[in-house]
Amino acid sequence: MADTLFGYSIPFPTYDLYVAITAVALYIPSIILTTPEAFGRRVQASRAAGSDLPPAVGIDGVQYLHVKVGDLLWVATTRVNLSPSLVSELLLRITVICRDYFGQVTEECVRRNLPLVYELLDEVMDYGFPQNSSTERLKQFIAIQPQAARSLPPGVTGVAGGEAFDRPAEVIKSVLDTSRTGPVKDEIFVDIVERLTATFDATGRQKSSSITGAVQIKSYLSGNPPIQLGLNEDLIIRGREGGPASHASSDAVVLETCSLHQAVDPRRLDTDRVLELVPPNGHFAAMNYRSTRSFRPPFRVYPLMEDDAVAPDKLTLYVRLRAEFPPSKTATGVELRLPLPRSVQRVHVETDGARPATLGLPSKTHFAQGAEWVERDRVLVWNLKHLRGSQEHTLRARLTVDAGSVEAVKRDYGPITVQFVLPGKPSASGLDVRYMKILKQEKNYNPARWFRVVAVANSYQIRPHWL
């Protein structure tokens, strides 16, 4: 039986839910109400062809713009010429609002809270035009209570939307939650989340790098008292006044660009390098920034393709992964993806963690990992659930290729992409929160303060054929 969305049938597979944000279709007659079906058919056709759907596609005069957060596609439709960046920002903001209201954005949570999602869209959009994307302001218009997910396995929530496997855990609460057992606990969560972009050659040399980050806050403080977050004293922000002089030491933290939440006082940042604000309820970014500072890469990957000494139509591929961070830190959700040409017929893959132990003793290298050849996508996938710093592991793949295509395979494989989540100080940019002050004049007021630094891969690639 087909799934339904806002009362309309959608022919999507049961293991996915495509959340079609069709506020324009619901209010403007020029958009037909069968757009979810048309988009679903295009997604299924792209999957069957083994390709990814572009973020913007046109079908029968209707433009579909979507963003993917975890396993969900959030879609907007229009017949007029709109800014794709504006639509993408709106869709991402809606995912944050949904997370604020029912704690996490997963397929099950969206299914159980479809009436709430519809009511939120009704308040956010008015006749197809965005009106209100503030979680704090929406609270006075929303009457439906959120429904919690049936089960919350550890690691299902995260800083980027909360759905990916082994993302760093965050608090799963709703901004409407007033029925917590026991006394209400005041607490505030501050995260420095940085997305790393880097490109390497086959020898491990770093060719380019950049960092985009955010100081993210989630507040559960009663009365919404003002807070102060003290940043690095030697922080330099290009284009802003204040801070150390331009001839500051080479160890100074330098940000190329910086944008602040409307609640942040920019004068305190310029003069004292302090983020002072009254935090609204819900999850928000107090500061977004970009840095081109060179950083020590958390991972290095060394690929090597060798000819087979016996069979002329076989190749052996070695991929060596080394964790460059200290042993006190552990990365989660590490995944390497290596595309192979169509002339590769078969792939037999093994990892060092699968080696048998000697004399019945547990192997020191045995840990949760796995590798597989996804023939439909023609990509070799290597997953490592947890990887401690200073460790090194190797994947070995034996390739059977078409006759006469050995040199072409050696020339055309790659690039290798790496995904990971790495919690722990210091941040790649060097940005740090030195202290947090809660300005509430109340005796014995000591709310819980939670702080962490997380690095995630944005575009982390190894180009095997670069010199």
The amino acid at 19: V
Q: At 362, phi and psi to the nearest 5? A: -65, 140
Q: Tell me which architecture the domain covering 187-295+428-462 has in CATH.
A: Sandwich (2.60)
What per-residue confidence (pLDDT) applies to 420? 92
What per-residue confidence (pLDDT) applies to 299? 92
**Cα 166 → chain centroid:** 11
The domain 299-357+365-423 is placed in CATH, from the list 3.40.50.261, 3.40.50.150, 2.60.40.10, 2.60.40.1170, at 2.60.40.1170
- CA–CA gap between residue 175 and residue 187 (Å, rounded): 13
**What string of pLDDT tens digits covers the 467 residues of the chain?**
444 444 444 444 433 444 444 433 444 445 555 667 778 888 888 877 777 788 888 888 888 888 888 778 888 888 888 888 888 888 888 888 887 777 777 787 887 778 888 788 888 887 777 887 777 677 777 777 777 655 444 433 332 233 332 333 343 444 444 444 445 578 888 999 999 999 988 888 888 889 999 998 888 888 888 899 999 888 888 876 555 544 455 678 888 888 888 889 988 888 889 999 988 877 888 899 998 888 889 999 999 888 887 788 888 889 999 999 998 898 988 999 999 988 888 888 888 863 433 333 334 444 578 888 888 888 999 998 888 888 889 999 888 888 888 888 888 888 899 999 999 888 889 899 998 888 877 777 788 888 889 999 988 998 887 65
**What six digits make up the tokens of 346?**
């078969």
Q: At 277, phi and psi to the nearest 5? A: -160, 165
- CA–CA gap between residue 440 and residue 122 (Å, rounded): 36
Other Cβ atoms less than 10 A from the Cβ of 14: the count is: 9
What per-residue confidence (pLDDT) applies to 218? 86
- CA–CA gap between residue 42 and residue 48 (Å, rounded): 10
H/E run at residue 86: helix 84-102
Other Cβ atoms less than 10 A from the Cβ of 121: the count is: 18
What per-residue confidence (pLDDT) applies to 298? 92
What percent helix, strand, coil does the chain show, rounded to 5? 15, 40, 45
What per-residue confidence (pLDDT) applies to 466? 65
- CA–CA gap between residue 303 and residue 335 (Å, rounded): 15
- 334 by Cβ neighbours in 10 Å (0-12 / 13-18 / 19+) ranks as buried
**What six digits make up the tokens of 262?**
């409307």
Which residues, listed in sequence order, are joined to residue 228 by a DSSP beta bridge? Answer: 276, 437
Which residues, listed in sequence order, are joined to residue 10 by a DSSP beta bridge? Answer: 3
DSSP secondary structure string, 25-76? HHH-TTS-TTHHHHHHHHHHHHHHTT-PPPSEEEETTEEEEEEEETTEEEEE
Question: Is-same-fold flag (3-138; 187-295+428-462)?
Answer: no
Q: At 318, phi and psi to the nearest 5? A: -115, 135
Q: Which of 70, 130, 53 is nearest to 94 (CA)?
A: 130
Other Cβ atoms less than 10 A from the Cβ of 373: the count is: 18
Distances (CA, A) of 329 to 209, 391, 419, 426: 22, 11, 16, 11
Structure-token match 């079906």, residue found: 37
* Boundaries of every domain in the chain: 3-138, 187-295+428-462, 299-357+365-423
What per-residue confidence (pLDDT) applies to 111? 79
HEC per residue, 167-204: CCCCCCCCCCCCCCCCCCCCEEEEEEEEEEEEEEECCC
**What six digits make up the tokens of 425?**
């100080």
Fold topology of 3-138: Beta-Lactamase (3.30.450)
Q: At 300, phi and psi to the nearest 5? A: -125, 140
pTM of the model: 0.64
